[in-house]
Structure formats: structure tokens, C-alpha cells
Amino acid sequence: MKRVLLIQHEPFEGPGTLRDALSGCDLRLVRTFAGDPVPTTLAEDGLVVLGGGMAVYEADCHPHLEDELRLLQAASNAGRPVLCICLGSQLLAAALGGSVAKAPRKEIGWFDVSPLPAARDDALFAGSPASFAAFHWHGDAFTLPGGAVPLAASAMTPLQAFRMGPRAWGIQFHLETDAQVLDAMLDSGAEDLRDAGADAAAIRASAAAELPRLRDLALRIFGRWVALL
């Protein structure tokens, strides 16, 4: 059985659909919000890093972020399969030489994502729709690390996904979102919703149609990542 280390930063921001995709794996969960230490080396076959409300540049308040940056750099350089979502994607970008800063505005809600030309030959994104609605919740954005391949964009965020080498991916949007994750994020994120001018009721209303489509795409993409382990 393949082993996966999964780092979760918030109690309300769990793996969602990823848990289904990883059901055949031995999953080791590191919960930084509960004080679990981030390992210095990756003993598992693959590494997953989820989102969170903190920022890459707030390591003085969240020392575990420095540990994650070192772990991501080492795992990526070693060619281990790495999958990073939202804050995780920002950490991966920073670990590989990109920069992370506040975006002009927060992107929260259902917005279209468009795969870029390189996605056509990507091991995870090949065959994805020309455009699809995904759930977004972020206030920071990252630049493309040197040597990385841009894979997706949205109207508000020019870089929504990238790949470094053959087996490390950063995905800014919340591909993992299921009904439980969505409700938990909306229930805990009133301040962010106000800042973004986002309507929780409208987001929930759209979810009935969007979540099943997002789940189908997520299971396909995540399943391809699991096959690399």
C-alpha cells in the first residue's frame, strides 16, 4: 500500500474529495492547527499540502511554514509526487523560488478556470474541459518559479496551477471542495466573505449544480496523481 503524508492547516479545511481519491493509500495526517510537528524528511511515497488562512510570509507567527517550505523543496527535488492546494500551492511556489504576495483583491466563490496550452500534455490536467467552474478562496497570489510550467488561469488570477518537473503540482483553486468543506469554509469565513463582497447564500445556491461537476473532475485529476505514487 502506498503511503501519503497530508498536511492540514485548519480544522475546517479538510481533504474533501481528496480523501476519496486517497482511500487506497495509507494516509498520515499532520494537523498543524493541533500542534503536530512537520517532519524534516518525507518517509512516505507522496506529499499533499492543503490550504489555510495564514500566509506564506507569516512564518514569524506560524513557524511550521518554514518547516513545510523545507519539506516541499526536498520532496520536489527528490522527484516525489507532490500535490499542493491553495496555501499549499503558494508554499510550493515559494519553496521553488517563486514569490507570494497579496493579490489586488480576494477571489472567493465560483469562478471559471481555463487550462493553459501546456495543460494539454500534462499528466494530471490533460483532457480537462476548455473551461470549468471551480471554488476559490484566496487573497494571495504567487509568481511562477523558474523552470515551472503554467497550467491554468482565471480572469482574476493569471496563474491558477503549475507543475514543477514531472511530479510536483501547485493548484490555487479548491479542486478538493465537497459539500462538507464548502459549508465549513463558509461558516468560518464571514470576515473574508465581507472583504471580498461575496454572498454565502449565492455560493451555496450555485453549489448544487457545481459540486457534482467539480467532483468528477477532481476524482479524475487526483486519481492520476495517486497513480504516480
Which of the following is catalytic: 10, 44, 107, 176?
Answer: 176
- CA distance linking residue 198 with residue 189, whole number of Å: 11
Single out the catalytic residue among 9, 62, 138, 174. Answer: 174
Whose CA is closest to 156, among 98, 214, 196? 196
Task: Specify the 3-state DSSP secondary structure of 152.
Answer: strand
Asked if residues 87 and 54 have their Cβ atoms less than 8 Å apart, the reply is yes
Is 107 known to be catalytic?
Answer: no
Q: With beta carbons less than 8 A apart as the criterion, state whether 111 and 130 touch.
A: no
For 115-140, give one letter per residue: b (16+ CB within 10 A) or e. bbeebeebebbeebeeebbbbbbbbb
CA nearest neighbour of 78 among 5, 4, 167: 167
Check 86, 107, 138, 210 and give the catalytic one: 86
Give the CA dihedral 103, 80, 45, 53, nearest 10 degrees: -10
Question: Is 174 one of the annotated active-site residues of the chain?
Answer: yes
The answer to whether 86 is a known catalytic residue is yes
Q: Show which residues are catalytic.
A: 86, 174, 176
